[in-house]
Structure 1
Amino acid sequence: MTDHTRRRPWLAALLALVVSGLGHAYLRRWARAFGWYVAVTAAVFVFVPEAAISGVLAGEPPPVRDVAPAAAVVGASVIDAYVVALRNNREHERERDAARSADAAEPTAGGTVDGPAAPSTETTSDETVRCPECGKETDPTVDFCQWCAEPLGDDAT
């Protein structure tokens, strides 16, 4: 198993909102955290007028149009942190399920397999395919589940 651990997507998004790059640092995506920090800092210095920055430091709220470009980059960072956390959790679940399947598929002394088999694509009698992730029937002519978008078949990674 790799270093994936379950993370809270809402916390990653909140941290990214508080300090740019902090949500990605929570997810241990160091290069991404540094990249978002640089992107937000660059957006502030390139697009936000100096008068708006001075006003914020003096405690005056700046006009929205002056800080909109930087706010858009911060918003993109928040969304990215949330999505990366969701992907991380999905990968964690796959690794956990694969480890459980591998443990369950260990042959006994008699050479047979006890316990449930590893998830595989099931074909029912009427030539429909069941998704190993969500269990719903899918179109047998495509190689992914139209319900959960997970890959189907033995060659899926």
Structure 2
Amino acid sequence: MTWLRALLAAGLSVIMPGAGHVLIRDWLRAAAFAGLFVSASALFLPIDQLTAAGPVTSVDDITVYADIMAAETDAIAQFLLSFIALFAAIDSTFRALGHSSVGADATEGPTCPECGKEIDADLEFCHWCTTRLEPVDPEAETNDL
């Protein structure tokens, strides 16, 4: 299930950077990648020509948009937008697999065995990935020592 979630997060991030982070509930990174992509699009894409082309009502309109973007967007802008989408896809994939940028020693409390994020000890499930957790029996811990 984790691999499927990671692949889905990557696919969504390729379509719209930040969407894969929404899937894995990483809201701050989702907003950062989406904002970066929308800002770069507004700066580098020919918005005036795309709006003059009218709304998309058929498959032929999509090819008109693609032709305008290919003809009017330089290689650097295409590379930058592709790089943002690729970086968002890679980042959401690694984060969905549980590889965070923070070290493993950074958490002070109990962590989820599935996603590795810090959890509330009072809950019976992980509020990040909704994995059901086994209740901790305090008597069993003292008997093991």
The residue identity in structure 1 corresponding to 2:21 is H
User: Residue 21 of structure 2 contacts residue 29 of structure 2 at CA under 8 Å; is this kept in 1?
Assistant: yes
Partner residue in 2 for 1:73: 84
The one of 53, 65, 71 equivalent to 1:58 is 65
Deviates more, 1:54-63 or 1:15-24: 54-63
Partner SS, residue 70 of structure 2: coil
* Runs of 5+ unmatched residues, structure 2: 54-62, 105-110, 118-125, 127-132
Which residue matches 1:112? 143
Shift of 1:35: 1.2
TM-score where L is the length of structure 2 = 0.53
CA deviation profile, 1:52-102 (whole Å, cap 9, x unmatched): 973876341616714111111111111111111122699642579xx6695
TM-score, L = length of structure 1: 0.49
- Show structure 1 runs of 5+ residues with no match: 1-5, 118-157
Question: 2:16 corresponds to which residue?
Answer: 19
The percentage of aligned residue pairs carrying the same residue is: 17
Question: What letter corresponds to residue 25 of structure 1 in structure 2?
Answer: V
Q: What residue is the counterpart of 2:97 in the other structure? A: 86
Superposition CA RMSD, Å: 3.9
SS, match of residue 58 in structure 1: helix
Residues paired across the two proteins, number: 103
* Deviation (angstroms), 1:38: 0.5
* Structure 2 CA distance for partners of 1:80 and 1:106, relative to 1, 3 Å: same
* Larger relative contact order (CA 8 Å, sep ≥ 6): 2
User: Which structure's residues are more often helix, by fraction?
Assistant: 2
Alpha-carbon separation, structure 2, partners of 1:25 and 1:112: 43
Larger Rg: 1
Q: Measure the CA separation in 1 of the matches of 2:92 and 2:17.
A: 10
- Is residue 21–residue 77 contact of structure 1 (8 Å, CA) maintained in 2? yes
Letter in 1 for 2:70: P
Partner amino acid, structure 2, of 1:37: A
Q: Is the 8 A contact 1:12 1:24 kept in 2?
A: yes
Matched-pair contact (CA < 8 Å) for 2:17–2:84: no
